[in-house]
Structure 1
């Protein structure tokens, strides 16, 4: 009773006046088109057009539906043909589309739209048309809404920012892993891009399996509202699903099967007043270490003042020696630059170095015979080189990640970066400011370590200036260049980790790990330098080796995934490099790689293992342990071929450092030395912090070894102040643990400061 037929004989036009659904079942042909005109008071509800083809063979002559509105035209054909990879085509006979909602002046304003249906088929095609209102088209804050979507029946809903809310988090969840879906945030405009082939055209979007989350800010939407669009993809490859078969013919249509997915959406206000609290929390933690260091320095200074004065005769002898040294030094020598290769300053060092270094038991005095000025300059090169490397490395990295972030903001493609989207707090153009802020600890504690080293350096220099016998002839020779390099590397690690977390993904993961290799290598070198100051590697050699490690890290990221040839080549080179380095360290550099190397190896095996007529510098079982450990690591790499090659390589470096550190501590205790209270506190504190840090590291909030959609399945909510997540806690704890580890290396041999060097064993 509420419909009227038009006088046009070639079409059927129905005008609808009441607020209820329209159902129409009709047979359509080329000579019998159909049109429908509807009018209704348009409030906040959406209107949905659903079409179902009931006739067979409609693919050859599809029906075209055109929906004309005041500010938009929506057209689609049924069966709807959607394309996947390699131009595979999937037909859908059941299609549902939601009409966009143009702005209205008042809630009672009447909106008109027209549905025109046509086909070129001369035969009749039977179809059903349904026009209905969408329940809960407007989403409410913190209220979950469930719905069903498919590739041919996408869904979208409207959200309006309430007063006082400037940032919200839109979460879409599903119990079903597949089919793969896309969640998009789009401005209120027509048309709405809600198909698999156009959903990425505007707005922000994420692929998803079980979960997706996007943080939306009011400032990005002038209308104070936006659409939440959910599209089910025609194929699952984007979410890590299986690759489907190829069609037999280029024009073959593939049955897509049932790809309906049940989802729910909820929009929650984001907590925006925690930024200041988060920054104060971060600064408070690390400034407390500065305060604690200051208090410890005051206590140590008070103790040094209260100690008994040293016998004056010692200083008289030292003073007389200093006068003799000054008299014997020429002006030209004091003003000329000292080359790093100017090692052997004693007349007899060339003639007896082979004898000295092959003694069964060496003392530090045997390997601390070179000019202190030469060694000081040699080890200072470590600091200047790493500072130069850091500048030239960091500048292009910063430029690159800024470009990445710009691409994310411009394209809206949030699959580029692997964030923890459930705890990503944007600030300005940065998508996850909290992950960047939490790296502040590396920088602040690295700077604090440099200040501590500087204090010790100044005290030691003053002792040398007054020719203190303890500084000249006792304790482990103090060279601070490697310590300065370690502190600088820790600061650079914080900077580059922050750069990586601007847009974390597999192409820039090496930014986060490069200086970790540096730190591990420098710590090993420092441990070795403590007892071998004369024969430690030069800065150029050390950094060249570390550069080779980083080079292989990049190759592993690019070519290592599932490439057995790469793993075989790497394993062979790994074994050879480990054996050469172990031999270099084991024989104190007194070996040669030439044509007689095989003969000498056989001779050493015969004398050391069979006849045992002369023992090497250390027990031969040490070399056996090195060989077994090296072969086991290579075998693991070949058998497992882990996808994360950079982490595998870093694990090798860390394992080497830990084993060497454990060896150093054991040999130190076996040699009758002790660990002072301060060093023991640092060791215990650092071990506990490392344990907690590794716990949070292995939580795995995201993983770039998988697809972005699969990575988001690991996302979790914030755990501290509603601002920091588990990985941020890893940043806090690991920076503290690294700082503690550096303090251990700095203080572990303080018990030897009053021990003559000819009584300190080399190991």
Structure 2
């Protein structure tokens, strides 16, 4: 029966019958039971003891001393009792066992106290202190007794000092700083009672290093490691007694919080010196935000992004009114007679099919390189933006293709030969690369939208399931080292630990949906223009294909969803969820920029998504193997450089090359003809400038990665994508202005607005409120208070601003070529 009682009293979560904690409790309880019976060997001495008195005594295996204490407990006052012990012995072969028997608990410990560090190194402590909690009482006053039993198995007398004192400041007060000292062998804990009207509090400002020892403090409640500062949010609903204990345990070694590892092994005296460490701590319990702040935060978030819907609606109304005014003006012009219409049809000036556009003129109206050169030499003005009124349009039409499959078009031998002639011209116009049937290209680019929608569903569902599991583990185990929150501004809601970080991602979803609505409106207007055979829609401007725009809007919405999933429990393993669709967005933007002037030869959705899948694959490999792995970085850098060279050749020759051998022959031929034999510049100077700059940037990034080997591989990969996107965008704008084209007011406003917002967004992004590249304790050193409405932190503002900046960037891509809507395609240059 005694053994069964020992088992039940000490079998706590995390302990097993064979664990050290179980064995100590078993010995302690059985020794006490033995001490209460006369048949036990040895002399038992019981003393009436008082608080705040030092008892210096000696203990042997023949003498067991029991100190009896009593104190009066008040129902409306909570105080603690502190037991402090000092043993004048350096050896650990015969420790002294102290057993404290209370009304509802038994606490036992040995002195010297042995605590284990990393690699099971043992640290002996001769100064030990433990706090006893006060059992609850229903009476107004109650006298409670407790006993301190001192025993040892050593036959040699061991001197010790015992002191029991009251802890008057055992209860923490709201918004009141409390200072104290803790050591590994003298942990501290205090009680906090929720006052009326307070449901959530934040415990903060604790230094790193009931269960109050290093080997059992994680058995119950919430816990985290700390170095200089940290915070834990506690909710009343999690504690039925409306109170909780704040327990502070000092680690025996700094390695637990990310400090340097000392050499091993250490001598006994060095272990004692290393273990003698104390920390001065300040604890503050302050009320968290109330429900009104939650409501204000949600209303603010909705209000900010709904305002963009209102502004867009007003701009659309103004634009629609302007278009109707222009259309009314056209309706008032004299109508052509049937004879005049037939004459224009015979000359090819009126389109016969809404799907025919961008063909080469039979009369050679497409500008040749010689004509452009002569124009530039004679100084006759712009060579890219040459406006011409509609009554001078004199372009022949080719017969519409009978097939709507792109592959049928590309495999014809004569068409393939024509491609080589057209695409290798020194100066290309959009009409040269917009020769395919619109039905073919519409199907081709709509696949982007349907593919990314499918990818989003299959990618998001397991991600959501995984982060829910993460959050459940955090809530059940109480281990707050799993997730890297900004604990000083992490507001829980329901099961979510940081609701504010999730809510701030709403902007990506709302603005992504708004962008889809804007694209849909433009798509409808363009289709209506095609139905009524509008000549400007058929023959002028950049060919309008909206499939990539739909894909971009969907990617922006998915970025918001996956970023919210990441912030459910941000850590090292799921950071890729936050960046995957960032790669998608960067890749789709580059493809859209290229598609504007190269609609016929842009990559298919299958090729594009396959390349993006390869990027994400390397992102996963970088997270798993990239940290300090030289082989991985060498392989990745080589692949990066080879891919850059391959893409450069593809862009330079407009896709008119194939095969590795052909690629190498062309490179050698260009070097020989352009650089060695003729010592002349490249044939396509503009493209060469872009590609040289692109190779310099990418080779530099590859060298940086190989030398520095950054820990955050996902961010490094994203930086490569963003640098290439910015380089190509800058090139596009420069070439657009150089070609004599202009940027309309709406597009210019979008560019300036987006640039400013991106600047502020990056400022808040680099504040670094937490980082999973360090230990959880070190990450908490970067935590900061909320700065907006007492609800949002710097990273939340980054979410707000970056979603607005991405939306603005999409609008720039959508509107930047609106100035060409009435310019013939054979007057719009390719670059």
TM-score normalised by the chain length of structure 1: 0.93
> After the TM superposition, which residues 226-625 of structure 1 pair with which residues of structure 2 at under 5 Å, given as runs?
226-247=244-265, 255-272=273-290, 273-307=292-326, 308-309=329-330, 312-313=335-336, 325=353, 338-344=404-410, 348-610=414-676, 611-612=678-679, 615-619=682-686, 620-625=688-693
Measure, in 2, the Cα distance between the counterparts of 1:710 and 1:614: 55
Cα distance, 1:348 vs structure 2: 4.5
Cα distance, 1:733 vs structure 2: 0.3
Cα distance, 1:347 vs structure 2: 8.4
Measure, in 2, the Cα distance between the counterparts of 1:254 and 1:225: 37
**Structure 1 contact 520–657 (Cα < 8 Å) conserved:** yes
Measure, in 1, the Cα distance between the counterparts of 2:352 and 2:306: 47
Partner SS for 1:109: strand
Cα distance, 1:634 vs structure 2: 1.2
Cα distance, 1:244 vs structure 2: 2.6
Cα distance, 1:238 vs structure 2: 2.2
The correspondence for 1:219, drawn from 214, 231, 237, is: 237
Give 1:726's aligned residue.
Answer: 794
Measure, in 1, the Cα distance between the counterparts of 2:152 and 2:751: 80
1:641 aligns to 2:709 (yes or no): yes
Partner SS for 1:595: helix
Worse overlay, 548-557 or 739-748: 548-557
Measure, in 1, the Cα distance between the counterparts of 2:301 and 2:257: 36
Cα distance, 1:337 vs structure 2: 9.1
> Cα–Cα, structure 1 residues 444 and 158, in superposed 2: closer, same or farther, change >3 Å?
same
1:194 aligns to 2:177 (yes or no): no
Give 1:209's aligned residue.
Answer: 227
> Cα–Cα, structure 1 residues 32 and 527, in superposed 2: closer, same or farther, change >3 Å?
same
The correspondence for 2:111, drawn from 69, 78, 83, is: 78
Give 1:92's aligned residue.
Answer: 125
Give 1:165's aligned residue.
Answer: 198
Worse overlay, 395-404 or 344-353: 344-353
> Cα–Cα, structure 1 residues 66 and 613, in superposed 2: closer, same or farther, change >3 Å?
closer
Cα distance, 1:744 vs structure 2: 0.1
List alignment gaps of at least 5 residues for structure 2.
1-35, 357-398
**Structure 1 contact 91–256 (Cα < 8 Å) conserved:** no
Partner SS for 2:129: strand
1:189-224 deviation per Cα after TM superposition (whole angstroms, max 9, x unaligned): xxx111111111110001000011011111111111
Cα distance, 1:172 vs structure 2: 2.8
Measure, in 2, the Cα distance between the counterparts of 1:677 and 1:748: 10
Worse overlay, 551-560 or 333-342: 333-342
> Cα–Cα, structure 1 residues 614 and 415, in superposed 2: closer, same or farther, change >3 Å?
closer
1:66-99 deviation per Cα after TM superposition (whole angstroms, max 9, x unaligned): 0011111000000001112222111111100001
**Structure 1 contact 360–618 (Cα < 8 Å) conserved:** no
Measure, in 1, the Cα distance between the counterparts of 2:802 and 2:816: 20
Cα distance, 1:596 vs structure 2: 4.5
Q: Which has the larger radius of gyration?
A: 2
Give 1:3's aligned residue.
Answer: none
Cα distance, 1:250 vs structure 2: 12
> Cα–Cα, structure 1 residues 55 and 614, in superposed 2: closer, same or farther, change >3 Å?
closer
> Cα–Cα, structure 1 residues 56 and 733, in superposed 2: closer, same or farther, change >3 Å?
closer
Measure, in 1, the Cα distance between the counterparts of 2:293 and 2:254: 38
Give 2:185's aligned residue.
Answer: 152
CA-atom RMSD in angstroms: 2.5
**Structure 2 contact 354–538 (Cα < 8 Å) conserved:** no
Cα distance, 1:751 vs structure 2: 0.1
> Cα–Cα, structure 1 residues 423 and 342, in superposed 2: closer, same or farther, change >3 Å?
farther
Measure, in 2, the Cα distance between the counterparts of 1:141 and 1:88: 39
Worse overlay, 588-597 or 437-446: 588-597
The correspondence for 1:32, drawn from 36, 44, 63, is: 63
TM-score normalised by the chain length of structure 2: 0.85
Worse overlay, 462-471 or 615-624: 615-624
1:714 aligns to 2:782 (yes or no): yes
Partner SS for 1:472: helix
Worse overlay, 165-174 or 91-100: 165-174
Measure, in 2, the Cα distance between the counterparts of 1:393 and 1:727: 24
1:350-375 deviation per Cα after TM superposition (whole angstroms, max 9, x unaligned): 22211111111100000000011000
**Structure 2 contact 540–824 (Cα < 8 Å) conserved:** yes
List alignment gaps of at least 5 residues for structure 1.
1-5, 175-179, 182-191
Give 2:8's aligned residue.
Answer: none
Cα distance, 1:108 vs structure 2: 1.6
Worse overlay, 349-358 or 375-384: 349-358
> Cα–Cα, structure 1 residues 7 and 249, in superposed 2: closer, same or farther, change >3 Å?
closer
Cα distance, 1:159 vs structure 2: 0.4
Partner SS for 2:585: helix
Cα distance, 1:36 vs structure 2: 0.8
1:41 aligns to 2:72 (yes or no): yes
> Cα–Cα, structure 1 residues 336 and 435, in superposed 2: closer, same or farther, change >3 Å?
farther
Partner SS for 1:467: coil
Cα distance, 1:10 vs structure 2: 2.1
**Structure 1 contact 535–589 (Cα < 8 Å) conserved:** yes
Cα distance, 1:547 vs structure 2: 0.6
Give 2:19's aligned residue.
Answer: none
Give 2:391's aligned residue.
Answer: none
Cα distance, 1:535 vs structure 2: 0.3
1:563-621 deviation per Cα after TM superposition (whole angstroms, max 9, x unaligned): 12211111111100111111111210011224354333221112222315684333434
Partner SS for 1:599: helix
Measure, in 1, the Cα distance between the counterparts of 2:439 and 2:690: 34
**Structure 1 contact 165–269 (Cα < 8 Å) conserved:** yes
Cα distance, 1:281 vs structure 2: 0.3
> Cα–Cα, structure 1 residues 678 and 163, in superposed 2: closer, same or farther, change >3 Å?
same
Worse overlay, 737-746 or 551-560: 551-560
1:735 aligns to 2:803 (yes or no): yes
Measure, in 2, the Cα distance between the counterparts of 1:112 and 1:577: 79
> Cα–Cα, structure 1 residues 92 and 577, in superposed 2: closer, same or farther, change >3 Å?
same
